[in-house]
Structure 1
Amino acid sequence: MLKSMTGYGRTKGTITGYQADVEVRTLNSKFLDIQLKLPKNLMSKELEIRSMISESLKRGKVSLAIDLTQDASVESDQVNHELFKRYYKEYTQLALEVGSKTDDLFRLALYSPDVMSSSSLDESVIETQWKELIPVLNDALAACNDFRQQEGASLAKELNTYIENIRTCLEQIVGHDPDRVEVIRERIRKHQQEIESSEEFDKNRFEQEMIYYIEKLDISEEIVRLTNHLDYFGEVMAEDDSQGKKLGFISQEIGREINTIGSKANYAPVQKLVVSMKDELEKIKEQLLNII
């Protein structure tokens, strides 16, 4: 089952004193790249959060944001009241001394250093909040994974279409091969007649070179190998775990066989089919960039 690296998940829940909102976004990346946006009182849990993401999402560029909104019914412990009063009193006195307006002093005092702080939270409270947040976080990661699976199913359909298009072209190449061989033989016969008229003609050497030449133009082995690679690609796509990198390696092998057929074909109808197969393969490679 394929998984896309593009995903989204969002869940909300209640923890001690807060409403929690967890949002996960993922994009394609060669490796696991995690970006976190955490409230101050959860900074100590960064390594644990990264570990949870790594275990669940495996690969991709991951952006995770946790937003905590204090319940209106809970008395705020994030405002240092005494410090706020001291700031406000001092700012008011300074404003009077210089004859300045006092309209914005409330906001200025509120956002002065250490007035808005969660440092007063007890460690035990943070641990309780963390334990309550873990299920919410897991639900967001699971929702993101579900999104990835749905996207992966769509990608799987497209990849199957491209693989079948390559297989159809290959079947047509097999159908053209007898004509291709006959054209090459006729070409060789004409050259043979020209060469045999030469006084320096060496029949034994000519036969050896023709055998070598015909073997170099034989594409039967490439056809067999390419068929096997196409079958194997489908088998890997059907595996339980998403195997984006493995599919990438198989697509490289498919490309090698297609290129070899193209270089050996020496026949216009086959060359056209080779171009079509290369076009389908490029589509496959483009889609594989977004597979885990």
Structure 2
Amino acid sequence: MVFSMTGYGQSTQEIGGYKISMEMKSVNHRYSEIVVRMPREWTCYEDRLRRMVQQRIVRGRVDVFINKERAGESTSSVEINMQVVDAYMQAAEQLRQKYGMSGHVDVNELLRLPDVMTVREVTTWSDEQLQACLEDGLSEALEGLCRMRAIEGSHLEQDTKERLARLEAIHAELVEWAPVVVTDYRAKLKQRLEQLADQHLTFDDAKYGMEVAIFAERSNVDEELTRLKSHLQQFNQLLSSNEPIGRKLDFLIQEMNRETNTIGSKANHLELVNRVVEMKAELEKIREQVANME
């Protein structure tokens, strides 16, 4: 089964008067990269959440966004940092003694000073409950992401198989036309030599045969066609496997391009050249599809 590297998933959980929303999106990437963005106080759960994603996603960049917002009234507590208050009061007394300043420190002004007052939200859940909530939300978002990747992957697989069938058809045509190259060259060369033959230039069967043999060796593409057929078979087998195949398919496309280029450089026949051009165009389209496969 083929999976795309592109997908999206989301979920919403509630705990202790808060709504926790998760969004996941994945895009193409040569390797595996997982980025988790969440409230700073929850970063202790990041490694666990990242491992959960790694168990399902082998290749691609995955961004995980976790946000929290109040779903109702929450309980808060106010804490006064008495050490900071004492420091401010001592500083005020020093100013009065040194510069003869008068006046007193007002409570309202004191509460506005930095670090004097801290408002803390009172949570009603345990660490285990929060971890379970985050894991449940991630599992739901991850399931949606993988479902979308599977649907997109099936479209990629179908399109790739159709193009691969066309490549196999072109390969069959190349096999059929390959022997014709030498036959046509032999006939054209003989015709030219006979046209040029006169009392100063006579037709030499031995030299003619040698020239044809040299051309046949130089334009022979049997090995390239055999390797190309093997690559096509491997490509088909990989499309039916249940493992990540994107990088392997990318390598096979490089090899098929190499064989196709060699056939094109050796081909000295219009029919072969036309089919090589068509094959290269199909390979490029398949390469674009494979770039999206996990």
TM-score of Structure 1 vs Structure 2, range by shorter chain: 0.7 to 0.9
State the Cα deviation string for residues 172-199 of structure 1 (Å, max 9, x = none): 3334334433212224435766699989
Displacement of 1:74 after TM fit?
4.2
Match of 2:275 among 270, 273, 279: 273
Are positions 1:254 and 2:253 aligned together? no
Check the 8 A contact 1:16/1:129 in 2, yes or no.
no
Give distance in 2, aligned partners of 1:22 and 1:230: 42
Displacement of 1:212 after TM fit?
3.9
DSSP 3-state at the match of 1:5? coil
TM-score (norm 1): 0.78
Are positions 1:49 and 2:49 aligned together? yes
Check the 8 A contact 2:185/2:212 in 1, yes or no.
no
Displacement of 1:133 after TM fit?
2.0
Displacement of 1:225 after TM fit?
2.3
Give distance in 1, aligned partners of 2:80 and 2:197: 107
Paired residues for 1:31-180 under 5 Å: 31-76=31-76, 80=78, 93=109, 115=118, 125-180=126-181
Change (3 A) 1:113 1:289: farther
Moved more, 53-62 or 207-216: 207-216
Give distance in 2, aligned partners of 1:140 and 1:269: 53
Check the 8 A contact 2:28/2:61 in 1, yes or no.
yes
Check the 8 A contact 1:6/1:26 in 2, yes or no.
yes
Give distance in 2, aligned partners of 1:40 and 1:31: 27
DSSP 3-state at the match of 2:24? strand
Displacement of 1:166 after TM fit?
1.7
Structure 1: gaps (5+ residues): 95-104
Give distance in 2, aligned partners of 1:212 and 1:114: 94
- Greater Rg by CA: 2
Give distance in 1, aligned partners of 2:39 and 2:16: 14
Displacement of 1:23 after TM fit?
0.8
Moved more, 11-20 or 53-62: 11-20
DSSP 3-state at the match of 1:226? helix
- Counterpart of 2:186? 185
Structure 2: gaps (5+ residues): 86-104
Give distance in 1, aligned partners of 2:208 and 2:61: 61
Change (3 A) 1:196 1:146: farther
Percent of residue pairs identical: 28
Moved more, 46-55 or 59-68: 46-55
Q: CA RMSD in A?
A: 3.5
Displacement of 1:62 after TM fit?
1.3
- Counterpart of 2:2? 2
State the Cα deviation string for residues 33-83 of structure 1 (Å, max 9, x = none): 222210132111122222222222122111101112234154246xx3657
Check the 8 A contact 1:70/1:76 in 2, yes or no.
no
Check the 8 A contact 2:239/2:245 in 1, yes or no.
yes
TM-score (norm 2): 0.78
State the Cα deviation string for residues 209-242 of structure 1 (Å, max 9, x = none): 6434312212233223222211221110110123
Change (3 A) 1:187 1:127: same
Check the 8 A contact 1:12/1:22 in 2, yes or no.
yes
